[in-house]
Structure 1
Amino acid sequence: MLEVLKTLGGGLRSVAPVIGILLVFQFLILRAPLENWREIAIGLVLTVVGLVIFLKGLEVGLTPLGEAASEALAHRGSLFLVVLFGLALGYGATLAEPSLLILAERVEDLTGGALRSTLFVQAVALGVALGLGVGAARIVLGVETTPFFIPALALALVLTFFAPERYTGLAFDAALATTGPVTVPLTIALGSGLALALGRGDVLIYGFGLVAFAALGTILCVLALGIFLGDPAGG
């Protein structure tokens, strides 16, 4: 019981600052009443409870599973299997990312259906998959991050000049949307698990950076999608 209360307290502390800021602006600055305050209160309670259950599930289930799989792959010593696992993990985790699904639905609404949410999510999932695949290969090969980051950043900068303007901000927002509560724990588990199992010297150098790889892959794929499709608003 004590553990449950402690977990609930942690979840409440996580969302309390956001709730407090919104309420202060609503009542003290905007001075506007909440007409549907009952529904909002119920929603806030569900948010706290859902967050606690979700984070606890990651802690005891999903993250340990990712670490165990990474360690087993490292012991197999197969670069192909590691890259394949990174691709599959990145793709599957992205499809389950709630923040990305919300962004995709909003994009479809604002473009009048010109950019379908399904297509957008698939492009982002492909970007994350490629990013994790390359990042996992880097750990196995024992290569530092800089030789990968600089060319990828340069390519992203070049693509922004060719992609429609509306896709530039969308690409970077999509990259942030993928760094959510599903993708990040699994990505960190993959990177640190591989680095530790393979005996890389400095885990902070070789075990981290996969989240950035996923973000860069997303940016590149969304920009490429924009170049291929053109302006979703047709202007």
Structure 2
Amino acid sequence: MQSVLNGILTLLGFLGEGLRSVAPVIGILLVFQLLVLRAPLENWREIAAGLVLTVIGLVVFLKGLEIGLIPLGEAASGALARRGSLFLVVLFGLAMGYGATLAEPALRILAERVESLTGGALGAGLFVQTVAVGVALGLGVGAARIVLGIEITPFFIPALALALVLTFFAPERYTGLAFDAALATTGPVTVPLTIALGSGLALALGRGDILVYGFGLVAFTALGPILCVLVLGIILGEPAGG
């Protein structure tokens, strides 16, 4: 009986954490809807059910990351580091960056919207593949930096400068799209795996300052898509539609 009670209390605690995460957003939307706009919620039952599912889904997802995906990523990166092969680490970073990007739901939504607005001139498949390649390259380069023990600044400054230069040559529509793509791909799948890879490599290799060598990979996964989408824009030119 005591174990059942403890399980119920634990579950309620998890649900409370999920509710606290989404409560500010729910509160803001309700305040604007009911007090500022003074518009009633006609389908409030469906909305309430959706919010409950959101909380439950968030709790399940976060616990899954905590006990499954992040430990798996750290274990894999640590094992790779102990092998002492830069090639394997870079190959793993490329493969994980590419695969994780294809699983990002936000990127799929963005890609489908882009295809619709351009009348198919920029297809969703091409856009997703371009972003995935960018993330893969960014994660591969970032992982190599950790293995080689190089600080992050010498990589960031040239990459940012290159991105700024490319914005002058890419069509205007691709500039905003490139930066949106970077944000869309740094989502709930890519970010935990990227952080696990960076911290796992830094810890396994015994890097002195984990904050210097273990972090920054997420920024690499954001810079890669920006550069690749801008290059795609230069190659394809102005998309049709709009």
- TM (normalized to structure 2)? 0.94
What is aligned with 1:37? 44
Q: Is the 8 A contact 2:93 2:139 kept in 1?
A: yes
Instruction: Provide the C-alpha distance between the structure 1 equivalents of 2:237 and 2:184, rounded to a whole number of angstroms.
Output: 22
What is aligned with 1:110? 117
Pick one of 200, 207, 210 that aligns with 1:200. 207
220-229 or 79-88: which moved more? 220-229
Answer with 1 or 2: which has the greater Rg.
2
| Residue 59 (structure 1) aligned with residue 66 (structure 2) | yes
Q: CA deviation at 1:3?
A: 1.6
Instruction: Provide the C-alpha distance between the structure 2 equivalents of 1:107 and 1:19, rounded to a whole number of angstroms.
Output: 28
Unaligned runs of 5+ in 2: 1-7
Q: CA deviation at 1:234?
A: 5.5
| Residue 141 (structure 1) aligned with residue 148 (structure 2) | yes
Q: CA deviation at 1:203?
A: 0.7
What is aligned with 2:11? 4
| Residue 170 (structure 1) aligned with residue 177 (structure 2) | yes
Q: CA deviation at 1:120?
A: 1.1
Instruction: Provide the C-alpha distance between the structure 2 equivalents of 1:26 and 1:91, rounded to a whole number of angstroms.
Output: 40
Q: Is the 8 A contact 2:118 2:241 kept in 1?
A: no
User: Number of residue pairs matched?
Assistant: 235
Instruction: Provide the C-alpha distance between the structure 1 equivalents of 2:19 and 2:119, rounded to a whole number of angstroms.
Output: 37
Please tell me the residue identity of whatever aligns with 1:67: E
| Residue 77 (structure 1) aligned with residue 84 (structure 2) | yes
| Residue 98 (structure 1) aligned with residue 105 (structure 2) | yes
What is aligned with 2:55? 48
**3-state SS in 2 of match to 1:88:** helix
Please tell me the residue identity of whatever aligns with 2:159: A
Q: Is the 8 A contact 2:90 2:141 kept in 1?
A: yes
Instruction: Provide the C-alpha distance between the structure 2 equivalents of 1:135 and 1:205, rounded to a whole number of angstroms.
Output: 12
Please tell me the residue identity of whatever aligns with 1:73: L
Q: Is the 8 A contact 2:119 2:241 kept in 1?
A: no
What is aligned with 1:157? 164
Instruction: Provide the C-alpha distance between the structure 2 equivalents of 1:185 and 1:7, rounded to a whole number of angstroms.
Output: 19
What is aligned with 1:232? 239
Q: CA deviation at 1:36?
A: 2.4
Identity of aligned residues (%): 86
Q: CA deviation at 1:112?
A: 2.2
Q: CA deviation at 1:127?
A: 0.5
Pick one of 214, 219, 223 that aligns with 2:221. 214
What is aligned with 1:24? 31
What is the root-mean-square deviation in Å for CA atoms of aligned residues?
1.2
Instruction: Provide the C-alpha distance between the structure 1 equivalents of 2:39 and 2:177, rounded to a whole number of angstroms.
Output: 32
| Residue 121 (structure 1) aligned with residue 128 (structure 2) | yes
Residues 101 and 234 (structure 1), Cα distance of their counterparts in 2 relative to 1, 3 Å cut: closer
1:62-121: CA deviation from partner (whole Å, max 9, x where unpaired)? 110000000000000000000000001101111111221222222222222222112111
1:20-70: CA deviation from partner (whole Å, max 9, x where unpaired)? 111111111112222322222222111111111111111111110000000
Instruction: Provide the C-alpha distance between the structure 2 equivalents of 1:196 and 1:95, rounded to a whole number of angstroms.
Output: 28
